[in-house]
Amino acid sequence: MKVERDVAGARAAGASLPRPLGFVPTMGALHAGHVALVSAARAECRAVAVSLYVNPLQFGAGEDFERYPRDFERDRAQFAAAGADLLFVPDTAMMLPVGYSTYVDVGPMADRFEGARRPGHFRGVATVVAKLLDIMRPDVLYLGQKDAQQTAVVRRMVRDLEIGVDVRIVPTVRDADGVALSSRNAYLSKDERHAAPSLHAMLQRVCDLMENGIDKGSAISQAGRMLSPPGTLEYLDVVDADSFEPIETLRPPAFIIAAARLGKTRLLDNLWIH
Ligand code: AMP
């Protein structure tokens, strides 16, 4: 696996790889969820590029940018073992040099749910993903279902800007107790980790209730009480998978989405109805 740290080197290395080229952008701190994206790319493409960049634009003031887990050697080894051909590891001087001033704003869908709680988050994601796509020029972009709103925002951007890449959504990888793998799970205390499976159980309950004819409002208020302490619910809703607008019935393509706060950590999860 080749490692490139600058834009020109990464662009040249990407251009020299066989096609189709799959691309998996990450912020590192790899777990089996990231590996599933690389494996999906490996299975479907002739070459696989990955990136590791802790994107400062997608962190708000007071969020965990400084303490976000970073372990380059471990990540490098995992990417190589998963079959990546090219790893792009830019630094911020390379991605957002002094004087950088261009941003991608995908509109109202980026202002709901995660966007409302993390102002500017999706603008930061879209801007950096657009830049990475222009550098790597992949044929297929792999994103995790775990970050459902991010998949909708990036797909909207790809459509609107005619970026010319297929976007694949890879199902969420979970621990045995249902908790979606996340680099941020490392922050959870024992009590918080103990409460975490109730988030997924709550989503499943919304799905079961609505499949049995219960209306969305009742399903959400009933299931919303299932979150175990010390968890507090931030949102629980059913949205159209493309627009991320709330919908009243469980018709595909949709996501049942939830976010909860466990101590200082926010956890996201969703069920994909497709
Ligand atoms: P991150 O490093 O957190 O930016 O995530 C990089 C990619 O991995 C994103 O497309 C995420 O949605 C995806 N991802 C994160 N966690 C999981 C998971 N548990 N299962 C599948 N994909 C995931």
Best mutation site among 146, 150, 168, 266 for ligand 1, i.e. most ligand atoms within 8 A of its Cβ? 146
Q: How many CB atoms lie within 10 A of CB 135?
A: 23
**Which amino acid type is present at position 209?**
L
Question: Does the bond joining 171 to the residue before it have cis omega, within 30 degrees of 0?
Answer: no
* pLDDT value for 220: 98
pLDDT 10s digits, 187-196: 999 999 999 9
CA-wise closest residue to 22 among 38, 10, 34: 38
* pLDDT value for 121: 98
| Ligand 1 center from residue 146 Cα (angstroms) | 6
* pLDDT value for 242: 97
User: H helices of 96-215, where?
Assistant: 114-117, 121-136, 148-160, 190-195, 197-211
- Ligand 1 site, residue 147, Cβ cutoff 6 A: yes
Q: Which atom of ligand 1 is nearest to the CA of 182?
A: 16
Q: Which residues are catalytic?
A: 34
- Ligand 1 site, residue 36, Cβ cutoff 6 A: yes
Q: Which atom of ligand 1 is nearest to the CA of 150?
A: 12
Contact 106, 134 (CB under 8 A): no
* Mean pLDDT of the region 5-21: 98
pLDDT 10s digits, 194-240: 999 999 999 999 999 999 999 999 999 999 999 999 999 999 999 99
| Ligand 1 center from residue 218 Cα (angstroms) | 31
Percentage of the chain surpassing pLDDT 70? 100
Distance of CA 150 to the CA centre of its chain: 6
* pLDDT value for 136: 98
**Which amino acid type is present at position 151?**
T
Instruction: Return the structure tokens found at 60.
Output: 């708000």
| Ligand 1 center from residue 212 Cα (angstroms) | 31
Q: How many CB atoms lie within 10 A of CB 107?
A: 11
The 8-class DSSP code of residue 129 comes to: H
Quick one: CA torsion of 100, 149, 61, 191, rounded to 10 degrees?
-150
* Mean pLDDT of the region 4-13: 98
* pLDDT value for 5: 98
CA-wise closest residue to 269 among 211, 191, 204: 204
* Strand boundaries in 62-190, DSSP class E: 86-88, 140-144, 166-170
- Ligand 1 site, residue 33, Cβ cutoff 6 A: yes
Best mutation site among 27, 37, 57 for ligand 1, i.e. most ligand atoms within 8 A of its Cβ? 37
- CA-nearest residue for atom 22, ligand 1, is 144
* Mean pLDDT of the region 89-111: 97
* pLDDT value for 107: 96
- Give the mean pLDDT of the chain: 98
* Mean pLDDT of the region 67-93: 97
**pTM, full prediction:** 0.98
* pLDDT value for 35: 98
pLDDT 10s digits, 233-261: 999 999 999 999 999 999 999 999 999 99
Read off the pLDDT band of 86 (50, 70, 90): very high
State the pairing for strand pair 47-52/231-240. unpaired
For 10, 40, 43, 50, the CA distances from 46, given in Å and listed in that order, are 17, 11, 8, 14
pLDDT 10s digits, 138-189: 999 999 999 999 999 999 999 999 999 999 999 999 999 999 999 999 999 9
- Ligand 1 site, residue 200, Cβ cutoff 6 A: no
